[in-house]
Amino acid sequence: MLSRVASHLYWLSRYLERAENMARILDVGHSLALLSGSSGQDSAAIEPLVITDTLEAFRETGQPATAENVARFLAWDPDLPSSIANCLESSRENTRAVRGSVTSEMWETINDTWLQLQVRRRSGEEPIDSAFFDWVKERSHLFRGVTFATSRRDQPYQFIRLGTFLERADNTARILSVKQGRDETDADAESDSDYYSLSAVLRSVSSLEAYRDTYRDTIEARRVAELLIFNPQLPRSLRSCFDEIDHILTALPQESGRQARRLAAVIRAGLAHGDLEDVHRVGLRAFLDQFLSENNSLGAALHSGYMEMR
């Protein structure tokens, strides 16, 4: 399989997953901003910027850091590569470049998403409400469902899945790092605001019901971390993502991907055999920062092994 084709397939799914993740973050961030009781420059308003590592880019715009401005920036800004609008467009362009490697249903789903986005853009409103964020999530879910239902289980399918799970793991780790890492420096008893913040973490990764089914108790920071890091049955946990990544890599050419397979195996082993005590020995934030660094290294190894022109 050509490295150029592999790269387009990998990135079309990463961009689509990134758009969905951004919608999740903004939807929950909007709720937290309302709970804070302020639309001004507070931590709740800028938290989506911190999670997505776009705080400096936003500050360069000179806009006041209100929840509305932050949401519009992350959803629609034409100069921000990771904005929802740009991610959906990039996903469509990558899909168009490899139309022969995807099914007609997959292309029609991505293209229709892009066309519907243009309708919203031309309306002049550029929505930033829950209905828009839900639409972004639904379009991402639709593409994954169509891919599962229509695509052969060959190398193109595996590269699409690989991009999805690598991007998903990055998002889960970032949300945990920002929203829970601060607990290490805050020894106060949990308040109502802590409860709603932890609920928001779970909602942002569609895991609130899973938490209740697993623990059948009040929401606690330690258990949220345990669920989202180590639970192999939760689709957006770090462990689940790397179970999938490790499995996918066994279906790809072995020689060119040796470094990537080694890195993925090391990361997965730590998640499969570690526990929360191991995390707290080094600190939650330090653990997640290390994970993000290793995840980035894996992305670089995948690019070197499969997507560089030779």
pLDDT in tens, 19-65: 999 999 998 877 666 665 544 456 778 889 988 999 999 999 999 99
| C-alpha closest to that of 110 among 122, 98, 100, 95 | 95
Give the C-alpha separation, 235 to 250, whole Å.
20
pLDDT value, residue 187: 43
- pLDDT tens digits, 193-208: 677 788 888 988 999 9
Q: What percent of the chain has pLDDT over 70?
A: 90
Give the C-alpha separation, 289 to 81, whole Å.
23
- The SS3 assignment for 152 reads coil
Average of per-residue pLDDT across 160-189: 78
Give the C-alpha separation, 167 to 75, whole Å.
18
Average of per-residue pLDDT across 76-97: 97
In this structure, what DSSP letter does residue 182 have? Answer: G
Predicted TM-score of the model (pTM): 0.92
Residue 209 CA, distance from chain mean position: 19
pLDDT value, residue 197: 80
Give the C-alpha separation, 8 to 75, whole Å.
23
- pLDDT tens digits, 97-155: 999 999 999 999 999 999 999 999 887 778 899 999 999 999 999 999 999 999 999 99
Q: What does pLDDT average to over the chain? A: 90
pLDDT value, residue 31: 67
